[in-house]
Structure 1
Amino acid sequence: MIEVELGRCVAGWCSGATGVANCARLSGGASQETWSFDIVHPDGTIGAILRRAPSGYGAAPERAAGLNAEAVLMQRAYDAGVPSPRVLHVLQPRDDLGTGFIMQRVEGETIPRKILRDEKFARARLMLARQLGETLAAIHGLALSQLPELRRMTAAKEIAELERDYRGFDWPRPVFELALRWLRDHDPGAPKEMTLVHGDFRHGNLIIGPDGLRAVLDWELAHIGDPMEDLGWICVNSWRFGEIDKPVGGFGSREELFAGYQKAGRHVDPKRVTFWEVMGTLRWGVMCCGMMQRFRSGPEHSVERAMIGRRASETEIDLLRLLAPRA
């Protein structure tokens, strides 16, 4: 059914297209779907990705920017030379496909285990940390006046939201209490500059090839805030997948990340980065607890949710390691 709908949609904006083929659902959730397909065209097949919330689904989660805003952000990034897929079409009511957009498919790998272990990515691993620093500098340099309306976040608001979510589980965890106290005591206040923040810059949202970074995906948590938040999030131990001696994604050092960022003329505040690394570690821990709560109380006892939920204990160890010399 969706192949017919996509074919009709594509014919309306892709001149010469004769249909679509190889439709395959890549992922899904309660409200969003991602599909891969090929646009059949006399000049050659065009690989494409559809991200959508089908008609009839509710609003995006509170923290999400929304698919329409995500499409604008990705196109602004692409136009500015940031590695980002090119947006081909934003869904319209006449398309009868819901809310979302179609973007050009970028070939590469997103699975951390392969990126960190396979020989084909050996050269890429040597340059990735600097590349990510350069890319974050470009993202943070995008003109706010050219962006859609986004949430404005501060450290204090982040702490309050985390505490609210954590308390809502009614599942006391002493290490989380310690981390919340530390964050309140070390709130660095407003940054010198508020910028676009990607919000989820990490493995899984980065397409990697043998030549390094090819595209940044999933801008749905983008907001306006402290640019050091993105640098801290990519350093969270959970995204190192066992390579704990390489803080940036399990493949590089903070110094390499910072060097790439500063190469673009932007300033790094290491203390703020550390603050956001602690915040990010606690955030992931709270998110893991949420997964476990949904596994326990939801109608669907997803094994995947239980597996993610148990990782809350890993974040407790990470927080103790982070805070031991600083508490």
Structure 2
Amino acid sequence: MDIRELQEKVELHLTSVWNEPVKVTEIYHLSGGACQDNYAIELHSKSSVKSVVLRTDKGGSLLSSLSKRDEFKVAELVYKAGVKTPTPVYLEEESSVIGAPFFLMEKIAGKATGRYITKDKELDTYRKSKMVSDLASNLAKLHTVIPESVSDEDLKQKLKLVTIENYISIAIEDLRKSLDELPEAHPAIELCLLWMESHAPNIDKIVLVHGDYRTGNFMMNAEGLQGILDFEFAHFGDRHEDIAWLCMRDWRFGRLAKEVGGFGDRKDFYKEYEATSGIPVDPFKVTFWEIMGNVRWAIGSAQQAERHLSGKDRGIELASIGRRTAEMEWEAIRLIEGLENAI
């Protein structure tokens, strides 16, 4: 669908839904990655002017990603929990309007690219002062959303209701199933899965996990954090899972010494998270989930490559992501070796 056709469909639909004439005065495509399409839209009506982002699926979503309906509902929960995230505006569950379900959210300022977050001089002051504390405190607020606080029973099931006793074993089994579905063997991943099965830690509490809390999913500018984005991989799980994902080597964008997202130190992040949540961060659990995260990303990368190679969704981005699989395998093995040598 071209921009002009999308504009006309959005105008017509929102005019009907909001019961007043709605005019799209500006619309342009934003980067949405391999699976998402995002459009910046300026909406004018008699009652308001709204700058929003329309978010929809590009044609195929990653395994385990939420539907647009569920992603929107999670955004509402997180917003109400006090997390700095764009205001959810409108959800359309029907595909008939633009060809796929979509939702609208507030358009916020800032940039999310890894190079900007980790290296741009415009952020030097903020990076040295509050970047770590803002991200740690917002993550702690996100983790206040627990299964008992979610009234939407359908959403609870989509977020995968689990217990502290079975969550890790289910997560490992899901990864093993995904690995078995790949056409080629990955012995390094098999080794990691075996290690995780015999070294699984306990979980203090089941909370809402962002699922992709990393550099690239935060909008920032010189004034600071503008908003947390992208809840398509949200689920119930262990709080350490999100902390570990942010610390993964792949999200440091070349600044390897800054283990938190390429911009901060672990001890500072842990301290700020604990100050907001009142819950101690367990370094072993973080490393365990880093290993799990690298295995998950390795399998996800291989799945993206297979989408390209099979002809289902051909694209150079999918193919290039697939080449990263070996890097995640190496990092997971490196982390395991570090833990074993420390014993």
What TM-score do you get using the length of structure 1 for normalisation? 0.89
Q: Which moved more, 1:196-205 or 1:71-80?
A: 71-80
Q: Does the 8 A contact of 2:91 with 2:103 survive in 1? A: yes
> What percent of counterpart residues are identical?
30
- Kept in 2, the 8 Å contact 1:109–1:207? The answer is yes
Call closer, same or farther: CA 1:94–1:67 in 2, change over 3 Å. closer
- Aligned residue in 2 for 1:26: 30
Per the TM alignment, residue 130 of structure 1 is displaced from its structure 2 partner at its CA by: 2.0
| 1:294 alignment counterpart | 307
Where does the alignment leave 5 or more consecutive residues of structure 2 unmatched?
none
**CA distance in structure 1 between the aligned counterparts of 2:255 and 2:77, rounded to whole angstroms:** 34
Change (3 A) 1:209 1:43: farther
1:10: Cα distance to partner?
A: 3.1
Match of 2:106 in 1: 104
Q: Is the CA contact 1:10–1:39 (under 8 Å) kept in the aligned structure 2?
A: no
> In 1, distance between residues paired with 2:195 and 2:113?
33
- How far apart, in 2, do the equivalents of 1:176 and 1:260 lie? 33
The aligned residue for residue 69 of structure 1 is 70
- CA 1:146/1:6 → structure 2, altered by over 3 Å: closer, same or farther? farther
Q: Does 2:137 align with 1:134?
A: yes
| 1:235 counterpart = 2:247 | yes
> Is residue 2:200 matched to residue 1:187?
yes
Q: Which of 214, 218, 221 is 2:226 aligned to? A: 214
Aligned to 2:208: 196
- Does the C-alpha gap of structure 1 residues 96 and 269 become closer, same or farther in structure 2, counting only changes over 3 Å? same
1:161 aligns with one of 174, 184, 188: 174
Q: Is the 1:17–1:39 contact (alpha carbons within 8 Å) kept by the matching residues of 2?
A: no
The DSSP-based 3-state class of the residue aligned with 1:326 is helix
2:90 is aligned with what amino acid? H
Q: Tell me, in whole angstroms, the C-alpha distance in 2 between the residues paired with 1:263 and 1:160.
A: 34
Report the counterpart of residue 282 of structure 2 in structure 1: 269
Give the counterpart of 1:256 among 242, 251, 268.
268
Partner of 2:235 in structure 1? 223
CA distance in 2, matches of 1:164, 1:303: 26
Compared with structure 1, are the counterparts of its residues 301 and 223 closer, same or farther at alpha carbon in structure 2 (3 Å cutoff)?
closer
> Within 1, Cα distance between the matches of 2:322 and 2:35?
21
Alpha-carbon spacing, 1:294–1:67, altered in 2? closer, same or farther (3 Å): closer
Distance 2:93 2:175 in 1: 35
Q: Paired residue for 1:245? A: 257
User: Structure 1 residue 12: deviation in Å?
Assistant: 4.4
Deviates more, 1:307-316 or 1:239-248: 307-316
Once the two structures are superposed, residues 197-240 of structure 1 have per-residue CA deviations (whole angstroms, 9 ceiling, x without a partner) of: 11111122211222332111111111111111111111111101
Q: Which of the numbers 32, 36, 41 marks the counterpart of 1:37?
A: 41
1:240 aligned partner, one-letter code: R
Give the drift of 1:37. Answer: 0.7
Computed over aligned residues only, the root mean square deviation of the Cα atoms, in angstroms, reads 2.6
- 1:25 aligns to what SS in structure 2? strand
Greater shift, 242-251 or 9-18, is seen at 9-18
Cα deviations by residue, 1:167-199 (Å, 9 ceiling, x for unpaired): 32243334323211211111114x121111111
Q: Does the 8 Å CA contact 1:90/1:101 hold for their aligned counterparts?
A: yes
Matched residue SS, 2:273: helix
Residue 28 to residue 213, structure 1, CA distance change in 2 (3 Å) = closer
Judged with a 3 Å threshold, the aligned counterparts in structure 2 of structure 1 residues 143 and 208 are, in CA distance, closer, same or farther, namely same
Helix, strand or coil: the match of 2:205? coil
> Which residue in the other structure is 1:313 paired with?
326
* Structure 1 residues 31 and 112: alpha-carbon distance in aligned structure 2, compared to 1, 3 A threshold: closer
Once residues 212 and 232 of structure 2 are traced to their aligned partners in structure 1, the CA distance between those partners, rounded to angstroms, is: 8
Q: Which segment drifts farther, 130-139 or 160-169? A: 160-169
**Structure 1 residue 52, shift from structure 2 partner:** 2.9
Using structure 2 for the length normalisation, give the TM-score.
0.85
What's the counterpart of residue 90 of structure 2? 89
SS in 2 for 1:24: strand
> Is 1:206–1:214's contact at 8 Å kept on the other side of the alignment?
yes
Aligned partner of residue 133 in structure 2, secondary structure = helix
Q: Distance in 2 between matches of 1:19 and 1:256?
A: 47
